Structure 1
């Protein structure tokens, strides 16, 4: 009896997690500009992020993947990502970063950000479901993911400056 109850609880929990993992991110774009502390439908902190590029400022509302579990999940299973939305992966220390697209349904621009906020490199329009590593060229402080092709559309390039706020 105890085993059956444990199985039922485990299955219910997994179903709940699966529902949360597939929450469409277009809901992010429907919200007003985020204050540090606002949560996304997936339960992640939403923060404003800007990229300064040749005198132009591009504004986004991004989810913060701050824990190793949140970073492992990333944008997997999402079927949409609004043009002004994304996800930031801040690291506690500088490190070379490597990502893959396993279970990622939509193409992404993966932007590697140095400690000073400058963009180190951009992996544009990464291939959904690919197991190929997408890596920084050196140690970075964060990785930003935007909808595939968005960086090129806005003229965002290496050297541009990324700024975001998090609640401490």
Structure 2
């Protein structure tokens, strides 16, 4: 019985530690991208776990920073903002780097925002970033994924 209590306590401690670790923003490798003359420093989320965490738990983000989500294959990609403290704009991007559509997402919302057609990439930026720069559907992004 002592072994079970000890194991249960250990599991509880490990679970609490993991939950606290998940409440911290992840730090991922950064790649430079451009949208016309605008430079973007994009963290790259490539794994399922990295994509699931995304920009959750961040109280702020620099103006020209964002997160590029890379999927293994093209599909209709949908995002929500649960546990995301920042309002964001998301651009769904085709294999050639052209923006398919852009959606505005509210912080802490479970509303779903999807690509208008199958894509392999999505780029999240601070809300309004694309609009303030006149970047819209059809604009081409440049950088490592599209070289």
TM-score of the two chains, using structure 2 as the length reference: 0.87
Partner of 2:28: 44
> 1:127 and 2:106 equivalent?
yes
1:128 is displaced (CA, Å) by: 1.3
Partner of 1:10: 15
Partner of 1:65: 45
For residues 36-64 of structure 1, the C-alpha deviation after alignment (integer angstroms, 9 at most, x for no partner) is xxxxxx33111111112xxxx11011110
What CA distance in whole angstroms lies between the structure 1 residues aligned with 2:18 and 2:93? Answer: 35
The unaligned stretches of length 5 or more in structure 1 are: 22-41
1:161 is displaced (CA, Å) by: 0.8
Aligned residues: 140
* 4+ runs deviating over 4 angstroms: none
Partner of 1:103: 83
Q: Please give the secondary structure, in 2, of the residue aligned with 1:131.
A: coil
TM-score of the two chains, using structure 1 as the length reference: 0.77
Please give the residue correspondences for 1:127-146 in structure 2 after superposition, counting only pairs within 5 Å.
127-146=106-125
What CA distance in whole angstroms lies between the structure 1 residues aligned with 2:69 and 2:88? Answer: 14
For residues 91-111 of structure 1, the C-alpha deviation after alignment (integer angstroms, 9 at most, x for no partner) is 111111111111111110110
What CA distance in whole angstroms lies between the structure 2 residues aligned with 1:2 and 1:94? Answer: 43
1:73 is displaced (CA, Å) by: 0.7
CA RMSD of aligned residues (A): 1.5
* Greater Cα radius of gyration, structure 1 or 2: 2
What CA distance in whole angstroms lies between the structure 1 residues aligned with 2:34 and 2:82? Answer: 27
Partner of 1:89: 69
Call closer, same or farther: CA 1:132–1:17 in 2, change over 3 Å.
Answer: closer
Partner of 1:116: 96
